[in-house]
Structure 1
Amino acid sequence: MARVKSGFRKRFNIRYWRWLATGATIGRIPLLRRHFSFYPRTVQPAKAASGVLEDRSFDLPTSFSEAETAFVRDRCWSYDTLAGDWRGEPTVKARQMAVTIRDAQLLGHVGLIMDPAHQAVVMTHSGTANWNFAKARTLRGQAPLRGRCHFLARTDNYYHALFHDLVPLVDYLERLHSRGMPLTLVCTPSRLAILRQACTMLEEAYPGLNTVELPEDGRLPVEEALWLSFEAGNAEWNFAAAPPVHRLAEIFRGHYGIQPGNGRRLFFSRGNSKIRRLVNEEALFEIAKDHGFERFEARADNHADQVRNFSQADIIIGVHGAGLGNLAFCRPGTKVLEIFPENFTKSTYLWVSKRIGLHYDWLVGGPGDYDQAFSVDEAAFAKRVEALIGT
């Protein structure tokens, strides 16, 4: 959930022009395209599928109040990723898929499934893959894997690891996967160690699972690749159904030996994060501390504390960011106050909260700079905290 870049900055940089040049040369010659594993074309999973385990389209209630609808439509929609044409209707068109792709290849450098039959990478939206998903690189062939495999997309974002990788996988394991049936989870190296750790937890919880690591410069042929996806109004509105989220939380708590509880009030700090720094955090925390809040910051080495603190909190206050993915571990009924800069509001955690039974509210501060550093009016913050305590 990084800063918003202007169209000028997106287009006029060396990465973009290098990608265009690569597409104009390597991308047009099949032999070079295969040699450098450069696949700018995409194919939708339904077209690539050799087997369909689930493919359902349905009207999904947003469950937004009138105020929440206005907040999403008028403030968040321009910042939400891949926002569609939702204009405040009480439902949104959704599609959930679980398909298998035979004789696929997993590409380590882009973290995608390649369908040799279409010479394209599998993505939800067909067309042309951008420079994040079409890179020219010579990959080392790996020994083929038999049976069904699931490729966990390479990500360094904690929220995406939880809600775009792990929650859909747990949903599949609970509803569609035969107990004890072999399934290989394929991971690529990531700075996000918790993703690999979560695979170990899933192996403990589900017999038949095992995990292999695909090097970033690896190309892995697999007999059958599993694709899981969920589409709604935009990319912020993830799967996040309550049963698999709660099951994932149960797996994490069981692994760490944590019992859910209540009574804690968390002021969730972004610490020294470069992006979305709360300029007057100290003053705001002093206000919160007077109401029994404790300050907590997520780090790579304290994940058990993250699970424990969110599992035992009654109220959570935090600035928008990937760390709020820990809402997955909250008990239903937990109160959440999310803080935004004026010029960067997203509906991600409102959506999550509605789906898993949390009581959500928001507070918009002043405008953020390029790195989204911003401040919040202290009187407005105090009033909102008092309302949280009193409700």
Structure 2
Amino acid sequence: MSLRKIVYQFLSWINYYYFPTSLAPESKDVYLERYKVNFTPEEIEFLKKSAATFNYATDYADVYWQKALYTVKLSQVTLLGNSGALVKQEKVISDSTFDQVRLCLSPAYRSPAFMRKRRKTGLYTSIFHLPWAQTSNYHWFYDCLPRLYPLLQQVKDPIQLIVNKDIPAFQLQTLQFVIKDYPHFSITFQSKNEKWELEHYIFPGFTTNHISGYLPAEVAHFLRNKIWQGYQVQALPAKNRIYISRSKARKRRVINEAELIKALIPYNFQVIYAEDLTYAQQVQIFYQAAIVVAPHGAGLTNLLFSEQCSVMELHPVNIIKPHYFLAAKALNFNYDYVLGSNADNNLDFEVRVEQVLAVVSKKLN
């Protein structure tokens, strides 16, 4: 046995995967071709401001391509329970970690771990993505669940959908809502300390781009309808005006929030603390939302469940993230933003209340 093979076997034994590979050479079953998203001059201005705060590491102002929706049929691959990443021939498939940026941060890559090996026959797939979607609603609804869409359209044979054994209740529940009408899809659970060697596997590509909540219209509407139905959302008129507070969070809080809320109350705004609500309650509230005002944060994920609303997002001037602008763009929602002070070490910042009220007045008129 060559020294190279001995080294590879040892690294495999401690689950240390040093080299990446990709699915570029593989044949893809494309459901929806990639397409270019066009922006208005005002939207381009926002994207330029956003890119500047990230030193142009991600810049969508010049061009934004929506990824193709596709699946890839694979055989003899290993699924790592600590991440959802795939390994083939002792190399991590970078496509299964979202992109090169997350590959370098993934516990699947160059990070030893104790993992029990299990061999599984039959046909499998998965959409979990750790640690990003461990408890996050944003990464679940934008990075994970949309991957089901091409699978549900293309796969007709019985298939087992692998999820993490510690999946949060809201994730499992919404997953069940989405696959309810597809009886050939069944759920099976994998522990974080297991790696499964799979006979046959269908890989669903990620739908979203980096720091983006943009979903193709047919994907967004499919997921919205499934989750509305699952939670038995009441089709009430969109009249709610809501402010999403982050005062109970550890970061990205509005420092002068008390002053802001006092100013919004006369405009009939309701203050929402998402962490105090069930997910069914959150979906119902957003379904009825006419105007949503919020600092950047996971609470805005639920824009996906608004029937039709107008959005105002509050950003620190030095960290302008485009996730929810792009989510609103995809849903054809009106989007405005207000830039506050520079963020402090906790990413907390102040806003000018009169500036927020000016935008609120514009939305009401």
Residues 164-206 of structure 1: per-residue CA shift (max 9 Å, x gap): 1112313442x3233xx32222112456432222222234232
For 2:293, the equivalent position in structure 1 comes to 317
Q: Deviation per CA, 1:122-144, whole angstroms, max 9, x where unpaired?
A: 32556994243322012112241
**What is the one-letter code of the residue matched to 2:91?**
Q
CA, structure 1 residues 107+176, in 2 after alignment: closer, same or farther (shift >3 Å)? same
Q: Secondary structure at the match of 2:205?
A: strand
Residue 53 (1) aligns with residue 25 (2): no
Give the Cα–Cα distance (whole angstroms) in 2 for the partners of residues 192 and 28 of structure 1.
Answer: 40
- 5 Å matches for 1:318-337? 318-332=294-308, 334-337=309-312
Residues 230 and 238 in structure 1, CA contact (< 8 A), matched pair in contact too: no
- 2:292–2:312 contact (8 Å) kept in structure 1: yes
Determine if the alignment matches structure 1 residue 357 to structure 2 residue 332.
yes
CA separation of 1:145/1:344 partners in 2, compared to 1, >3 Å: closer, same or farther? farther
Cα distance per residue 1:206-249 (max 9 Å; x no partner): 221111111110111222222233578x5023551122212212
How many angstroms apart in 2 are the aligned matches of 1:199 and 1:27? 41
Match for 1:213 among 189, 200, 207? Answer: 189
How many angstroms does 1:38 deviate by? 1.2
Q: Secondary structure of the equivalent of 1:299? A: helix
Distance in 2 (alpha carbons) for counterparts of 1:256 and 1:37: 40
User: CA separation in 1, counterparts of 2:40 and 2:321?
Assistant: 16
**Match in the other structure for 2:264:** 288
Task: Return the alpha-carbon distance in structure 1 between the equivalents of residues 167 and 184 of structure 2.
Answer: 27
**Distance in 2 between the 1:94 and 1:242 partners?**
11
2:138 is aligned with 1:164:
no
Report if the CA contact (8 A) 2:339-2:351 is conserved.
yes
Bigger mean CA offset, 334-343 vs 238-247: 238-247
8 Å Cα contact 1:149-1:184 kept in structure 2: yes
Q: Distance in 2 between matches of 1:148 and 1:69?
A: 41
| Aligned-residue identity in percent | 20
- Matching residue within 81, 84, 93 for 1:111: 84
CA spacing shift, 1:94–1:170, aligned 2, 3 Å: closer
Residues in 2 aligned to 1:242 and 1:196: alpha-carbon distance in whole angstroms: 23
Q: Encode CA deviations 1:336-385: one digit per residue, 9 max, x unaligned.
A: 00111112111111111111111111111111111101111111112121
Report the Cα offset of residue 266 of structure 1.
1.0
- Contact preservation (8 Å) 1:342, 1:367: yes
Q: 2:51–2:57: 8 Å Cα contact kept in structure 1?
A: no
After TM superposition, the score normalised by the length of structure 1 is: 0.82
Distance in 2 (CA, whole Å) between partners of 1:128 and 1:71 is 25
In the alignment, structure 2 segments of 5+ residues that lack a partner are none
2 CA distance for matches of 1:230 and 1:258? 28
Q: 1:76 to 1:369 in 2, by over 3 A?
A: same
For residues 120-131 of structure 1, what are the structure 2 equivalents within 5 Å? 120-123=92-95, 125=99, 129-131=103-105
Instruction: Label 1:186 to 1:148 Cα distance change in 2 as closer, same or farther (>3 A).
Output: closer
Does structure 1 residue 380 correspond to structure 2 residue 352? no
Equivalent residue letter for 2:12: R
Tell me if 1:132 matches 2:110: no
How far apart, in 1, do the equivalents of 2:146 and 2:325 lie?
17
Could you tell me how far 1:145 is from its partner in structure 2? 4.1
Tell me which of 157, 173, 178 is aligned to 1:197: 173
In the alignment, which residue of structure 2 is the partner of 1:36?
A: 14
Provide the rounded CA distance (Å) in 2 between the counterparts of 1:61 and 1:307: 27
- 8 Å Cα contact 1:39/1:121 also seen in 2: no
The 3-state SS of whatever aligns with 1:337 is strand
The alpha-carbon distance between structure 1 residues 231 and 194, as it changes in their structure 2 partners (threshold 3 A), is closer
Cα distance, 1:127–1:60 mapped onto 2, change above 3 Å: closer
Q: 1:370/1:192 Cα in 2 relative to 1: closer, same or farther (>3 Å)?
A: farther
CA distance in 2, matches of 1:310, 1:300: 15
SS in 2 for 1:198: helix
1:267-306 equivalences in 2 (<5 Å)? 267-299=243-275, 302-306=278-282
Rounded to whole Å, the distance in 2 between the matches of 1:81 and 1:215 is 38
For residue 176 of structure 1, the aligned residue among 147, 154, 171 is 154
Q: Is the 8 A contact 1:152 1:187 kept in 2?
A: yes
Give the whole-Å Cα distance in 2 for the aligned partners of 1:355 and 1:127.
24
CA contact (8 A) 2:164 2:190 kept: yes
The secondary structure found in structure 2 opposite 1:46 is coil
Paired amino acid for 2:270: E
Superposed, which structure 2 residues align to 1:18-33 within 5 Å? 29-33=7-11
CA contact (8 A) 1:186 1:211 kept: yes
Confirm or deny: 8 A CA contact 1:142 1:219 kept in the other structure.
yes
Report the Cα offset of residue 319 of structure 1.
0.9
Q: CA RMSD in A?
A: 2.7
Asked if 1 retains the 8 angstrom alpha-carbon contact of 2:84 and 2:126, the reply is no
Letter in structure 1 aligned against 2:20: T
Partners of 1:284 and 1:378 within 8 A in 2: yes
Specify every segment of 5 or more residues in structure 1 that has no aligned partner in the other structure, as ranges: 1-25
